[in-house]
């Protein structure tokens, strides 16, 4: 099955897994879709972001209809709650998660957050629904990180305390944007990984800015992370999906020899050409990350 009809629209499906090294891409065992549930409003003011408009409206009735319509046709592999900042209205966020759990209980769920309510998130029962919490963290220095976000982010001590108190140490990971002038060279990459190990976070992603606005294009870092490979930084996987995005996986052994860190690097070359994902922005179901409305 290469396509599926959702709300009267034929949606292309991912038919093959990402290509591994130089091997031919392998066909998927079962066609699925991934859904991104996006809250538009955000407390941060990141210059590289275009998804932070002042729009708190979220149509819960239509959200339920969208989920029911999709699962009636095909399995949802993963739901990612993202933004803007999805935890701005925490009660609404919890309802969104609960509705998804009711309609598609076997779907894996993740959340991307800037840390606005990170402590609350890890203290609330809602955390039990997530296999992954991606904390956007774009510098190891607390003050410089706050400068990038233009708000007071969780400090290193606060992150360390969360990790000390929460039993599942692998659920929280960092998503770090590579930005010219901030995270753009080998020394800073090593410093970030040493810092991540120190605050007891075991997974870090380094993500190149998607070319969505002038700032992102002007401050894009095409960082050759392979140049970092040495006796403490070892590559484990290299993935590519068509000519749209590419990922590399690594393992980093810190100088302290404590808390080995899993590392991935991602570069999405053509974000608006990826049509195998769906996005619900609180009002419309769309193809991929563009403005192509399905319902």
> CB 292: neighbour CB atoms within 10 A?
14
How many residues can be counted in the chain? Answer: 295
**Does the model's pTM come out above 0.85?**
yes
121 C-beta neighbours (distance < 10 Å), count: 22
Q: Superfamily assignment of 3-287 in CATH?
A: Aldolase class I (3.20.20.70)
Range 135-153 average pLDDT = 97
DSSP letter, residue 244: T
- Could you tell me the residue ranges of all domains in the chain? 3-287
Instruction: Let me know: does 76 contact 34? Beta carbons within 8 Å.
Output: yes
**Digit-coded pLDDT (tens) for 166-181:** 999 999 999 999 999 9
pLDDT at position 270: 57
- In this structure, what are the phi and psi dihedrals at residue 171, rounded to the nearest 5 degrees? -70, -35
Average pLDDT on 141-149 reads: 98
How many of the other CB atoms lie within 10 Å of CB of 6?
20
Distance CA 87, CA 109 (A): 15
Which of 109-113, 119-123, 199-203, 222-226 bottoms out in mean pLDDT, i.e. has the lowest?
A: 222-226
- 162 three-state secondary structure: helix
Cα–Cα distance for residue pair 230/243, rounded to 1 Å:
28
Mean pLDDT of 214-230: 83
Question: For 48-195, where are the E strands, in sequence order?
Answer: 76-82, 108-113, 130-136, 172-178
């Amino acid at each position: 099955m290469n396509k599926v009809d959702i709300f009267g629209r034929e949606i292309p499906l991912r038919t093959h897994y990402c290509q591994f090294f130089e091997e031919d891409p392998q066909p998927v065992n079962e066609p699925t879709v991934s859904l991104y549930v996006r809250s538009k409003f955000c407390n941060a003011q990141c210059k590289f972001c275009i998804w932070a408009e002042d729009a708190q409206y979220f149509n819960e009735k239509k959200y339920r209809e969208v989920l029911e319509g999709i699962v009636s046709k095909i399995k949802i592999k993963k739901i990612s709650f993202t933004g803007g900042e999805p935890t701005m209205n925490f009660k609404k966020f919890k309802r969104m998660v609960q509705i998804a759990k009711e309609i598609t209980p076997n779907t894996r769920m993740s959340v991307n957050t800037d840390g606005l309510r990170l402590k609350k998130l890890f203290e609330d029962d809602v955390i039990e629904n997530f296999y992954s919490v991606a904390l956007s963290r774009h510098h190891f220095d607390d003050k410089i990180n706050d400068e990038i976000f233009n708000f007071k982010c969780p400090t290193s001590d606060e992150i360390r305390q969360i990790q000390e108190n929460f039993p599942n140490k692998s659920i929280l990971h960092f998503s770090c944007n590579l930005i010219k002038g901030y995270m753009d060279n080998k020394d800073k990459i090593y410093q970030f990984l040493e810092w991540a190990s120190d605050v007891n976070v075991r997974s870090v992603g380094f993500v190149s800015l998607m070319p969505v606005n002038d700032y992102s294009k002007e401050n894009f870092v095409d960082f050759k992370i392979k140049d970092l490979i040495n006796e403490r930084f070892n590559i484990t996987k290299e993935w590519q999906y068509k000519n749209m995005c590419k990922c590399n996986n690594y393992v980093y052994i810190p100088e302290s020899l404590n808390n080995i860190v899993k590392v991935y690097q991602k570069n999405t070359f053509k974000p608006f050409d990826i049509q195998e994902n769906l996005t619900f922005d609180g009002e419309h179901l769309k193809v991929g990350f563009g403005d192509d409305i399905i319902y």
